[in-house]
Chains A and B, each alone.
Chain A
Amino acid sequence: MEPTDEQIAQRIQKGESELFGELVERYQNKLMRYARKFLSDSDDSKDIVQDIFIKTYQNIQSFDPARKFSPWIYRIAHNEFVNALKKRASQRTIFTFDIDTILPHLSANETADSAAMERDLRASLETHLDKLDAKYREPLILYYLESMDYKEISDILQIPVSTVGVRLGRARAQLKKIAGDTII
């Protein structure tokens, strides 16, 4: 039986540094996809993912093996991507003070989309994702492409779970507006 990410991370913490290569193998495709989608196929995606792995290794002693590893490494990735976007003048919206995180919202439960709706949404994501604001693009990527649940997205973005639901709802609405009524 294959060791879990958390078990590997724990062994690295205890000195088995060579096992870090296993984590790189497990996450490089996921993080490259996340980077390409979030940064809209930026040329420096590979460099940023490399930096993510370096920071992951440098900070791995701060990881709590009792918790899940994937939200932890995705949090590092999120911070790196936000820093990359900060350098782009056109992507200011993600850094403005967000009222969604200030006020409480009614609890946003995860809803299962119908298969047809999900298929349409994924198709639309492929073509229109880069037209969305960064703060709405990211939860869509994490939920639909990285198959994270609300709680994991909440841990990665460090926002309330209810805000994740609000952002996903608005992201779908934006996507619908962009793509027309043919989807969702």
Chain B
Amino acid sequence: MNQESLKDIIMKGIHDGKVQMRPRWHFMLLSALMLVGALVVCLTLIYAVSLVVYLLHSSGAWFAPSFGLRGWFAFLYSLPWLLLLLLLVFVVILEILVRRYTFVYKKPLLTSVLGIVAVIVAGGFLVTLTPLHKSMAHFDHDGMLPPPLNGLYRQPPHFQTSDLYRGMIVAIAPDHIVVSNGESTTTVFIDTHTRLPYGNEFTAGNLVIVIGDFVSTDTIRAFGIRSVEPEGEDDLSGHGR
């Protein structure tokens, strides 16, 4: 095959219609689909991050690190690891979808992945400032959320074995307080070892997070207690045990 013949072969294929140009709309459609795909994955990631933050707030786990090492363990134990693993998978998918763009492949992989993580974490935190999850929790309580979201806001199963309890003080005694989370009432015993990182000025109606050992189904020996700011009118419906 000489040089001329290569040109002849290709031009003959074009003239005979065996080699055809794909239309411009084909590439525009592909680009649009890729962009929409990337956007959907990005929004899903932002929603998932905000959901994780919301669930951690609801369970009280978000505040657990203020109790020291045991609090950190409780926090790490309470993390929805399956959801976080799913988040990681989605980050990889997003990276693959956007890797074809010049502004992405010109950067080292680590930089672009960290950029994606920064965007979704910032976006996730911004979403937690909106009433989205409270509204969705309302819908969920009314049984109006479709699968796979239904039940997500009512019974996050991961928090069932946590040693955290979140609720409102309904009574105060010298050596204990009574806390209710709307579904159950628990007596929380306080002694000299109980950690009170934000002081002991509790009053009835305060929203508190308790970390400790359940000595029975309705009694906790408190390792630590702290009050938290209410996040809304339905704040009592936390997901603590």
Do chains A and B interact in one complex? yes
Interface pair B1/A24, CB less than 8 Å apart: no
Q: Quick one: given A28-B3, A28-B7, are A17 and B14 in contact (CB under 8 Å)?
A: yes
**Closest chain B residue, CB of each to CB of A59:** B22
Interface pair B108/A24, CB less than 8 Å apart: no
Which one of A98-106, A121-129, A133-141 contacts B? A98-106
Question: Is chain A's binding surface mostly helix, strand, loop or mixed?
Answer: helix
Q: Which B7-26 residues have a C-beta within 8 angstroms of A?
A: 7, 9-11, 13-14, 19-24, 26
* Distance between A145 CB and nearest chain B CB, rounded to angstroms: 18
Interface pair B108/A57, CB less than 8 Å apart: no
> Given B14, B20, B108, which contacts A163 in the complex, CB threshold below 8 Å?
B108
Q: Quick one: given A17-B14, A46-B1, A49-B6, are A105 and B19 in contact (CB under 8 Å)?
A: no
Interface pair B109/A101, CB less than 8 Å apart: yes
Q: Which A1-35 residues have a C-beta within 8 angstroms of B?
A: 12-13, 17-18, 20-21, 24-25, 28-29
Which one of B19, B24, B102, B109 has the greatest number of beta carbons of chain A within 10 Å? B109
* Distance between A10 CB and nearest chain B CB, rounded to angstroms: 12
Question: Is chain B's binding surface mostly helix, strand, loop or mixed?
Answer: helix
> How many chain B residues touch the partner (CB < 8 A)?
27
A103 to B13, CA, bound (A): 45
Interface pair B19/A54, CB less than 8 Å apart: yes
Give B96-118 as 1s and 0s: 1 = Cβ < 8 Å from A's Cβ atoms.
Answer: 00011010011111110000000
Which residues of B lie under 8 Å from residue A54 when comparing CB positions? 10, 13, 19
A103 to B22, CA, bound (A): 37
Interface pair A155/B7, CB less than 8 Å apart: no
Q: Quick one: given A29-B3, A155-B102, are A160 and B108 in contact (CB under 8 Å)?
A: yes
A-side interface residues toward B, CB under 8 Å?
12-13, 17-18, 20-21, 24-25, 28-29, 46, 49-50, 53-54, 57-62, 101-105, 154-155, 158-163
B-side interface residues toward A, CB under 8 Å?
1, 3, 6-7, 9-11, 13-14, 19-24, 26-27, 99-100, 102, 105-111
Extra A-B contacts (17), CB below 8 Å, given A29-B3, A61-B23, A103-B108: A12-B21, A13-B24, A17-B14, A20-B14, A24-B7, A49-B6, A50-B9, A57-B14, A58-B19, A61-B24, A62-B22, A103-B110, A104-B108, A104-B111, A158-B99, A158-B105, A159-B105
